[in-house]
Amino acid sequence: MSGDDNLERRLEAWLEATARPMPPELLDDVVTSVSRARPNGVRARFPSGRPWRLVTGALAVVILAIGIGAALRLPIGPGSSSTPAPPSPIGSDVASAAPPSPIGSDVASAAPTIGAWHRNNYNAGEEKLACDEGPDIWTCDYTVPDGTGSFIGQVVTESWTCPAWFPGTICDNVTAVYRGYFAIDEPPDGQATETPEIVRQEYVITSVGGQPVLQLYWVDRFVCPWYRTMEAALAADYNCVIAP
């Protein structure tokens, strides 16, 4: 019996006891590769002798089998299948597992909407806000008879904490909060400025008795109520709450 035949017989017996059977053509390729590699390779790092050559030859078979099996997508190991799993069909339960976003909830829907807000400035005039109201970002233009400005803020509802000095009618009815900055382009005195004044603001959206109310919070200064229509603003309490 030749050395290659003896090696093949031993390798077949060893692989049958430790791994899944190889296809005959794959085993022939591996044995041929190992036979060519036997005079060199990692064997030089171990004591000489036939047992060590057999062990290193077997290790080489495992390494080559794993590499060839990966290239051919042949599974190595018991209990595996040579047939790849089919892709999930479009429209399957997995693809449709996520529930759709609610439409008409208190928080703005996915598409930004144009919203108007009005404030009765202590019976001295009307203040207006025109806002692009998205679920994640609000941008608003502010106008009064003699002043303008703009606001941009992002949603912080989940992490926001209601200040302790806010009335309970605000804290208990919050539906969304947008935190950002307000740039005063033209102050109420009508004098334009080269560098707009930037102040921190939070738009606290509440629902009171089914009516939306924007509590516009000038951070650490005061908070004032705004309404969807000027009629609602005139009929409601217009007083701001000053920070202590």
What pLDDT shows up at residue 154?
98
Give the tens place of pLDDT for each residue, 75-122.
444 444 444 444 444 444 433 444 443 333 444 345 678 899 999 999
Whether the per-residue pLDDT at 163 is higher than 90: the answer is yes
Residue 59: pLDDT above 50? Answer: no
E strand or H helix at 56, and its extent?
Answer: helix 50-72
Q: State how far the Cα of 15 lies from the Cα of 26, in Å rounded to an integer.
A: 13
Share of the chain above pLDDT 70, in %: 51
Return d(Cα 226, Cα 244) in angstroms, integer: 21
Answer whether 201's CB lies under 8 Å from 219's CB: yes
Do residues 61 and 42 touch, judged by C-beta distance below 8 A?
no
The average pLDDT across 47-52 equals: 42
How far from chain centre, in Å, is Cα 127? 38
Domains in the chain: boundaries? 3-72, 113-242
pLDDT digits (tens, 9 = 90+) for 124-152: 999 999 999 999 999 999 998 778 999 99
Give the mean pLDDT of the chain.
Answer: 72
Which CA distances in Å does 140 have to 97, 136, 203?
A: 36, 14, 10
E strand residue ranges, the chain: 113-120, 126-133, 137-144, 147-155, 174-186, 197-208, 211-218, 222-227, 241-242
How sure is the predictor about 185, in pLDDT bands with cuts at 50, 70 and 90? Answer: confident
